A = this chain, B = another copy of it.
Amino acid sequence: MNGSNRTSGSPHVVIIGGGFGGLSAARALGRGRWRVTLLDRNNYHLFQPLLYQVATAGLAPSDIAYPIRSILRRQRNTSVVMAEVQAIDAAHRRVLLHDRQIDYDYLVVATGATHSYFGHPEWATRAPGLKDLNDALGIRHQVLQAFERAEVETDLARQRALLTFVIIGAGPTGVELAGALGELACTVMVRDFRNIDPQAAHIILAEAGPRVLPSFPAELSAKADASLRKLCVDVRTGSPALALDRHSVRLGEDVVETETVIWAAGVAASPLGQTVGAPLEKTGRVLVAEDLSVPAHPEVFVIGDLAAYVHQTGQTLPGLAPVALQQGRHVARNIMRRDDGLPTEPFRYRSRGSLATIGRGAAVADFGRLRLSGQVAWDAWALIHILQLIGFRNRMLVFIEWSWAYLTRQRSARLISRHEPGVDRSADPPGRHRPVARPENTFMSRKAT
């Protein structure tokens, strides 16, 4: 079994998390004398940059998720185990699952991040965020259901509240969600209802700061702002979310009646980082050394959204897929070097630019000196994302879905699951391997309270 003793000949590398970071580390370790075990609580790798399209009924879950086993099937030195890690016991070099332990020689922690509600964990139920497929399907359900309820609502004030959607936070996720929702209401569903006009939907993108996409250059923020307004999105900068109750949200001085609030504002590191035994920065990310290892444990590496890596420029690297991918490959190299008795090498991030999409034919791209917007940025965005999707099959399907949506202005995945996905312990198959929730699960789940 995977928990086999590390005194056997081949060193055992354990990787926790099958996201961009963990998977790229596992792939780079695919050949060699070591054994690799990749642990993830899901059986699939998720292409998170397109998750907002699942939330807005543009793509099916299986278009952006792929079984980790299939991705790594050719690596005979690699086992994939679907399990929740409870804690890391770095002193004894082992990882604790709820029913057993796994020893390691080298450990890569890549469990990413969850939402932060800035001291208001009770808002999680009311304003779900977007981190995994469950979140995305829950938001899709809530949005489509709001239109259905508005169609049969006779009280005009309540109808108006049902057709008001508030997205909090205008970073890339918030902007992409708002744009996709604007398209859904203003073009996709236009002729589908009899009593309501979907174009009357009120989509508010609320941002505490002075402009949308704060991490982009100001000129691109202005272009994104203009594109959002064309898609019926009401952009409100300088509007922090101050209070939230069942039927309304307070944005700065304004109280907005709404049934649907989506959270795209704060990020908190995965709580597993607290068990690594290393210093954390304020959002809970693990402060890593230059070679991505943890100060007291040179055999433990932390990468991706969970790592706080102070860049050569003095800034902490942002939580982006390219950072995680590069760190995964780098950490694999450092493990090989250390196993060969060589010194590890410091990580250097090579930025390839950043992109955000707003809607059909509208995006912004910042490639350093080259800044793009409009159709050409959208084309670049679509091309890059399709090329990066793992597996030829998913690439082809997403390309078809997008071409189809682009030509017909239809959306494919407008299904309201009869019941929102949620924790249903009673339906779990009987047996010992019933999954146990990780701490952030309890905190994050929309039914936490």
Chain A 129-167 interface 0/1 with B at a Cβ cutoff of 8 Å (1 = within): 000111000100010111011011110001000100000
List B contacts of A394 (CB < 8 A): 412
List B contacts of A74 (CB < 8 A): 191
> Is A65 an interface position by the 8 A CB rule?
yes
Q: Complex Cα distance A134/B42, Å?
A: 19
> Is A192 an interface position by the 8 A CB rule?
yes
| Residue of B44, B70, B81 touching A192 (CB-CB under 8 A) | B70
List B contacts of A363 (CB < 8 A): none
List B contacts of A192 (CB < 8 A): 67, 69-70, 73, 80
Most B Cβ at <10 Å: residue of A60, A142, A149: A60
A: residues with CB less than 8 A from B are 1-2, 41-44, 60-63, 65, 67, 69-70, 73-74, 79-83, 125, 132-134, 138, 142, 144-146, 148-149, 151-154, 158, 162, 189, 191-195, 246-247, 259-260, 393-394, 396-397, 400-401, 404, 408, 410, 412-424, 426-431, 433, 435, 446-447
List B contacts of A419 (CB < 8 A): 134, 421-424
Q: Complex Cα distance A416/B412, Å?
A: 21
List B contacts of A447 (CB < 8 A): 424, 426-427
Q: Complex Cα distance A419/B153, Å?
A: 32
| Residue of B62, B145, B435, B446 touching A60 (CB-CB under 8 A) | B62
List B contacts of A63 (CB < 8 A): 60
Q: Complex Cα distance A2/B430, Å?
A: 45
A82-B416 contact in complex given A427-B447, A447-B424, C-beta closer than 8 Å: yes
| Residue of B247, B416, B430 touching A430 (CB-CB under 8 A) | B247
Q: Complex Cα distance A419/B425, Å?
A: 8
10 closest A-B pairs by CB: A422-B424, A60-B60, A69-B192, A62-B413, A420-B427, A82-B148, A43-B416, A60-B62, A149-B433, A67-B414
A393-B410 contact in complex given A1-B152, A81-B151, C-beta closer than 8 Å: yes
Q: Complex Cα distance A447/B83, Å?
A: 24
Chain A at the B interface: SS class: loop
Q: Say whether B146 contacts A429, CB under 8 Å.
A: yes
Would you list 29 pairs from A and B whose C-beta atoms are within 8 A, ordered by A residue? A2-B152, A42-B416, A43-B144, A43-B148, A43-B414, A44-B416, A60-B62, A62-B412, A62-B414, A62-B415, A65-B415, A67-B414, A69-B193, A70-B410, A73-B192, A80-B192, A138-B427, A142-B429, A146-B429, A152-B433, A259-B429, A396-B404, A417-B421, A418-B435, A420-B427, A421-B421, A422-B424, A427-B446, A427-B447
List B contacts of A433 (CB < 8 A): 149, 152-153
Number of copies of chain A assembled together: 2
List B contacts of A153 (CB < 8 A): 433
| CB proximity of A449 to chain B, nearest CB, Å | 9
Q: Complex Cα distance A145/B195, Å?
A: 44
List B contacts of A1 (CB < 8 A): 152, 154, 195
| CB proximity of A152 to chain B, nearest CB, Å | 6
List B contacts of A429 (CB < 8 A): 142, 145-146, 149, 259-260
Q: Complex Cα distance A412/B61, Å?
A: 10
